[in-house]
Structure 1
Amino acid sequence: MAQQTVLVPLVPIQGRPRRNGCVLPGVACRRHARLGPVNNSCSMKCLVRSHPLFRQIGNDDFELILEKARHLELPSHETLFRQGDEAQRFYLVIDGAIKLFRIFDSGMESVVGNATALQAVGEYDVFTRGGRYDCFAETTRPTRLIGFSAPLYLQLARKNNTTALALVEYLAEKRSSHYSEIETITICNARQRVISYLKKLCEDNDNRLMGISGNQGLVLPVPKYQIAAYLGMKPETFSRVLAALQKDGVIQINRREIVITDPDLLDAGQD
Structure 2
Amino acid sequence: MIHSFKGAQNVLSLLSPQQQQQLLESGKTIKLVAHQTLFSKGEPATHFYLVKKGQLKIFRITPAGDEKVFNLFTPDSWIAEMAMFMPNPSYPMNAQSEVASEVLAVKRETLLGIIDNCPTLARALLGLMSTKIFSLVNNVDKLTFINASQRFVLHLGHLYQMQTGDEGKIKLQQPKHVLASQLNITPETFSRILRKLKSQQLIEEKGDTILLLDIEKLCAEVELTSDIFTR
What is the TM-score normalised by the length of structure 2?
0.78
> How far, CA to CA, are the matches of 1:102 and 1:149 in structure 2?
24
> How far, CA to CA, are the matches of 1:78 and 1:199 in structure 2?
35
Matched, 1:181 2:139: yes
1:60 is displaced (CA, Å) by 3.5
The residue number in structure 2 matching 1:64 is: 22
> How far, CA to CA, are the matches of 2:177 and 2:154 in structure 1?
17
Matched, 1:243 2:195: yes
- Range with greater deviation from structure 2 (255-264 or 179-188): 255-264
Matched, 1:190 2:142: no
> How far, CA to CA, are the matches of 1:103 and 1:190 in structure 2?
22
Amino acid at match of 1:176: F
Q: Which runs of 5+ in 1 are unaligned?
A: 1-9, 11-43
CA distances 1:162-205 after superposition (whole Å, capped 9, x unpaired): 22123222222222222222222222111011112223333444
Matched, 1:262 2:214: yes
Gap change, CA 1:270 and 1:154, over 3 Å in 2? farther
Partner of 2:89: helix, strand, or coil?
coil
Paired residues, number: 221
1:74 is displaced (CA, Å) by 4.5
> How far, CA to CA, are the matches of 2:223 and 2:124 in structure 1?
33
Amino acid at match of 2:124: A
What is the TM-score normalised by the length of structure 1?
0.68
* Alignment counterpart, residue 110 of structure 1, candidates 68, 80, 90: 68
Contact 1:68 1:148 in 2 (8 A): yes
The residue number in structure 2 matching 1:252 is: 204
> How far, CA to CA, are the matches of 2:76 and 2:223 in structure 1?
28
The residue number in structure 1 matching 2:228 is: none
Contact 1:202 1:218 in 2 (8 A): yes
Amino acid at match of 1:243: R
1:141 is displaced (CA, Å) by 5.0
CA distances 1:14-39 after superposition (whole Å, capped 9, x unpaired): xxxxxxxxxxxxxxxxxxxxxxxxxx
> How far, CA to CA, are the matches of 1:167 and 1:221 in structure 2?
26
Flag the structure with more relative contact order, 1 or 2, with Cα contacts below 8 A and sequence separation at least 6.
2
Matched, 1:120 2:78: yes
Partner of 2:4: helix, strand, or coil?
helix
1:245 is displaced (CA, Å) by 2.0
The residue number in structure 2 matching 1:53 is: 11
